Amino acid sequence: MSRYPRALAALLALAVALPATPAAAAPADPPVGATREPGNGPERHETAATDPLSAAGAAARAQGHNQPAKTAGYPRQTKLRVYPEDPTDRSIRLGLMPYHGIAPALNDLQARSDRVSVEVIGQSTLGRDLYLVTVTAPEHAGQSRQQDRWRRLIEDDPRAAARDRQLRAGYKTPVWINGNIHGDEWEGTDGALRVITALATATDTATRRLLERSRLYFTVTNNPDGRVAGTRVNGAGFDINRDHITSSQPESRAVRDVVIATQPVVMLDEHGYTGTTLIEPSTAPHGQNYDYDLYIRHAYPNALGMEAAIAALGHPETAAADIPFRDYAPGDWDDWPPIFTPMYAIYQGAVGHTVEVPMQVNRGAYNSLPVEELRRRSGINTDVAAATIRAAIGYADTHRGALLADQIELFRRGWAGEAQRYVPDGYVPGFGPEDRYTTTFPRAYVIPAGAGQRSPAAAARLVDHLVAHDVRVRRAKAPFRVAGRWHPAGSYVVDMHQPKRGLANAVLEAGRDISSLVPQMYDISGWSHGLLWGATVHTSRWEAPRVPTTAVAVAGPTGGVLAAYGNDLALTLTDGKDVQAVNALLDAGVRLLRQDDGTVVAPASARRTAAAVAERLGVRFTSAGRHPRGEELRKPVLAAAVAADELFVLRELGFDVRPVSTATLNAGPALSGVDVLFVSSGLSYPALDPAARSEVDALLARGGVITRGATGARFNADAGVLPARAVAGRSDANGVVSVTNGGGPAGTGAPPHSFVYAPLWFTDLGAGVAVDQRYAATPLVAGHWIADPEDGTGGPAEAAGQAAVVSGVGPRGTAAVLFGTEPLFRAHPKGLFAQVGRAIFWTAAGSGAGG
């Protein structure tokens, strides 16, 4: 605490002294929801009044203005709706704040203090409100407008911001605290509420002055559904802290908009439980698109300050902390992928930290330990969360000038297109060659329009995604040539001379094979919207397009019916949007034909319906030719023993899906009317009782099968569906791979890249089995995939040229597609979704069940 001003130290001590949230009666323990992989380690898987978070604010950001037309002052107080008491809320047993208690507590604070503003920034998957609490000294509207102008200037014209003395003196330091993103890691919420209460009610001069020069933002619970249920995941089964580069979930989109709108210089993401408090910065490999010199020179001393703050609590359990950068081996706790909240925030201009409070109270401990011990542990954890929040606020206030200057410098380098800085050994204690990760940014990316674009719908989705993440995209007003290619007017240009170039590159680049650099990775190490989202994206390494452009707020419409009136309509299933369109037409009662190449044909009489679907989904219908032939396509019904991410995508694609498992099938008949069985998780053929196995056999005789991963491969072998032997690659291997496509439902029209996590390949193919897709001669493009160090098996060299996806009709007469890749992983590789859709339609039709 000696590093902070004495008065501020006194204020922060006040927050320690506040009592913890009152305990409530412990209810009976409901079952904890299942996750894809148990354990505390990595897992696979609008009443908003704050102006910058509004729809107008989002559109303005897309134009590079980061500001709506009208700005309110502070406080911006909202009468929050109060939820009924829920005695099953899992936080109650721990003596922590139940979700239904948060709104009353915040309503009370707003009534008592003009320093507190609470706004609703969205809803969770199950419809619970997400709160943003802002603590700052009151501002009239003119003062708030000035703050917003300065914030825009920092990003839009950092050179001018660096020269602006009034900005340096008057800009309020923004700090963002995110709590409870994992629902069963509760205490970040309670620590945040403790600090908010202290700041709101303290009467000393130090607090007043702190809030006159700071804006402190708190998303007090990022995952209310998980908080109530006591699950790591949200209501859709997603780990939100793996979703930031994909933004498939409303909770991650809400905090994405918070970090863009508030532009914090420091942020904390409060988690648990690691035994010893863990405070980032992380180990290598460090994200190669960071300006790491600007990050680590604040992240490391801030972590040391947080470590000192928890030691000062006096608990034996908080005497020390683990700082992975200092204490762990490379790859043990890395910051490589932008899927985590703090890593994503670094690209948005923040010094981001994960904090893991120490004492486990979830999962097995929740059910086995006495209530008294659980509450003792959660009390220590709340102390730790509050202490790290206080320390981070103190660091941000003490070092506000340097933090602001470095955020300005980050954006200046982006606009100028300057190279990343060389970070010398010892730059901070312990920095060495193992920490040095850099890249050379390309000059521009082009997402072409016209005939050179594989999927206009995918291109529009990618552009809208970039804009939503505050990446600046422009649209060409004329044809142009760059990097040896001509592009038509209407093509999109991502000029890499922009403030958030690191994020733009992290999204669009292919990535890097880091297999030889670290022995293992904490989570995924490869991703690429440029290669996996289904759009054609070109890289201009050195040359900027010379063409007049306009700023993009939203991608141009791509849908339409291009066939002449009176012609039947053809739809090629290139993208997941095309699959959605087929299901939408079937839902509307349109009679469709499926041709041998997978193309779907609608009659000319359905033109009006097709036009409405095309406008809504951005797909394009062309002429089907004269007298089209094909099998009638009925909408298949799926029984899916799958992970939560796969279930989410299958339903998003518009399929009728019935979740099943070994247990549900053994409980009684469940497959009546089902056309396709999708198996990737939770279903064992040998574990079925005789009645359930008979029902599955009946489905195999009349319907189709799709499998993915080790569980699917075991089902295929046990049930004798297709004669194909699955070979497992290394279980922690993951990343973007090159593939060569054959024919078949999964290979026809598929992109030349795919995604793997614990990859499989298929050998010893029997009669009737075709290879839809093979791993390329050098499979791994980006990620981490090594052979087993003991026997040399399971690596990419062994997978090279092997079958990654196979299809066929087996001895039972079952049409099946077996995936060794991960086409639906965390709802991320959107360009692969059509493979699955085509496979579903083909397996249903191939066995005679789907027409």
Residue ranges with strand state E in 758-836? 760-763, 769-784, 803-809, 815-819
H or E element, residue 99: helix 99-112
Q: Is the Cβ–Cβ distance between 662 and 719 less than 8 Å?
A: no
Which tokens in the block code for residue 254?
């809400």
Which tokens in the block code for residue 220?
């007090």
Q: Is the Cβ–Cβ distance between 576 and 532 less than 8 Å?
A: no
d(CA 302, CA 245): 26
d(CA 329, CA 306): 21
Per-residue CA distances from 152 to 61, 68, 71, 818 (Å): 9, 11, 13, 50
For the beta sheet containing 560-561, the strands, ordered from the edge strand earlier in sequence to the opposite edge, are: 560-561, 620-623, 569-571, 600-602, 592-594, 631-633
Sign of CA dihedral 56, 60, 61, 63: positive
Q: What is the DSSP letter of 548?
A: -
Task: Look up tokens 């066939």; give the residue.
Answer: 563
- In terms of Cα–Cα distance, which of 791, 742, 785, 789 is closest to 760? 785
Which tokens in the block code for residue 93?
């047993």
d(CA 273, CA 144): 39
Task: Look up tokens 């330990």; give the residue.
Answer: 369
Per-residue CA distances from 20 to 135, 554, 664 (Å): 20, 46, 43
Q: In three state form, how does the secondary structure of 639-706 look?
A: EEECCHHHHHHHHHCCCEEEECCHHHHHHCCCCCCCCEEEECCCCCCCCCCHHHHHHHHHHHHHCEEE
Sign of CA dihedral 401, 403, 406, 411: negative
Q: Is the Cβ–Cβ distance between 773 and 753 less than 8 Å?
A: no
DSSP helix/strand/coil, 613: helix
Strands 321-322 and 277-279: parallel
- In terms of Cα–Cα distance, which of 845, 803, 809, 800 is closest to 821? 803
Which one of the listed residues 356, 509, 695, 798 is annotated catalytic?
A: 356
Question: Quick one: how far is CA 352 from the chain centroid?
Answer: 16
Q: Is the Cβ–Cβ distance between 733 and 755 less than 8 Å?
A: no
Q: Is the Cβ–Cβ distance between 650 and 678 less than 8 Å?
A: yes
Q: Is the Cβ–Cβ distance between 268 and 177 less than 8 Å?
A: yes
Amino acid at 625: G
Angle of helix 205-212 versus helix 6-17 axis, rounded to 10: 100
H or E element, residue 368: helix 363-368
d(CA 374, CA 382): 12
- Is 356 marked active-site? yes
DSSP helix/strand/coil, 129: strand
Please give the backbone phi and psi of residue 52, each rounded to the nearest 5 degrees, phi first.
-65, -15
Which tokens in the block code for residue 727?
């070979």
d(CA 601, CA 572): 9
Which tokens in the block code for residue 63?
């134009």
- In terms of Cα–Cα distance, which of 490, 606, 493 is closest to 543? 493
CA angle 8, 11, 12 (to 5 degrees): 90
- In terms of Cα–Cα distance, which of 459, 512, 219 is closest to 337? 512
Report whether the peptide linkage leading into residue 273 is cis, meaning its omega lies within 30 degrees of zero: yes
Where in the sequence numbering do the catalytic residues fall? 356
